[in-house]
Amino acid sequence: MKKGGGVPHRNDDNDEAKIGGVTNKKKMKKNMQRLGGRGGLSLASFADAKARNDTYNPSVIKKQREFYKNAKYVKKYKKSISQHEHQSTPSTAQELLEGENGGGNASQKKMKYKKNARNLQELYEKKHGEQEKDRIEREAMLQAKKEEREAAEARRRALKEKMYKKTRSGQPVMKYRIEHMLEAIQGSTS
């Protein structure tokens, strides 16, 4: 190398000019191996590289968790349905047995039907009455809360009006402010 920062002489005929102790040919060969041959990665190796999922992907994990959670709910639902069907089938089987043993008496079946209908009507009225009672209680609670809220708002409005009163010269009226502080002090001590 020349003094004064000149460019080193390069031999155009020979591609094996040394740069940092490693030849260009060796570097190119290493890169070619890394990329998988002369034309870059082959299609198969590219697909394999894409197929490997070594990265952490929170969205995929979230989807999998949601899928398993939904599967669990579906399983529970199906189980409850099968239990419900299982519980309802013995009663129908018992009715069939009773029907066979009873000899098929039509008047007994009618009475049984009327009795069941009456029981169902009573159950319906009872349930409906309870629902109506609950609705009336809810409405009463909501009305009481509404009245309480309105009363509190009226108190706040009156207090605000007193606190913002001014004298003729524009000074605040201290009488109401002092009363408010006194009430706060008495409320904290008792």
Last residue of a domain, one of 40, 74, 104: 104
Q: Does 69 lie in the same domain as 41?
A: no
Model pTM score: 0.32
In a domain, 119, yes or no: no
In a domain, 94, yes or no: yes
Residue 43 lies in a domain: yes
The type of residue at 117 is A
The boundaries of the domain holding residue 77 are 60-104
User: Which pLDDT score, from 0 to 100, does residue 15 have?
Assistant: 46
Looking at residue 169, what is its pLDDT? 93
**Residue 36 lies inside a defined structural domain of this protein:** yes
Structural domain ending residue among the three candidates 31, 51, 71: 51
In a domain, residue 167? The reply is no
Q: Compute the half-sphere exposure of residue 181: CA atoms within 13 Å on the CB side of its CA.
A: 5
Q: Tell me: do 67 and 100 sit in the same domain.
A: yes
The answer to the question of residue 159 being in a domain is: no
Retrieve residue 78's tokens. 């199906």
Both 39 and 71 in one domain: the answer is: no
- Measured CA to CA in angstroms, residue 167 lies from 112, 157, 174, 179 at distances of 86, 19, 10, 17
Asked if residue 98 and residue 69 are part of one domain, the reply reads yes
- 150: in domain: no
Q: Which two tokens stand for residue 51?
A: 């197929």
Residue 41 and residue 73 share a domain: no
Number of structural domains (the chain) is: 2
Same domain, 46 and 64: no
Q: Where does residue 41 rank: exposed (0-12), middle (13-18), buried (19+ CB within 10 A)?
A: middle
pLDDT by residue for the chain (190 residues), tens only, comes to 556 555 555 554 444 455 555 568 887 777 777 766 666 666 777 777 666 666 788 888 899 999 999 999 999 999 988 888 877 665 554 555 555 555 556 666 666 677 777 888 888 898 999 999 999 999 999 999 999 999 999 999 999 999 999 999 999 999 999 999 999 999 998 7
Residue 95 lies in a domain: yes
On whether both 64 and 81 belong to a single domain, the answer is yes
Query: How far is residue 140's CA from residue 13's CA, in Å, rounded to a whole number?
Result: 101
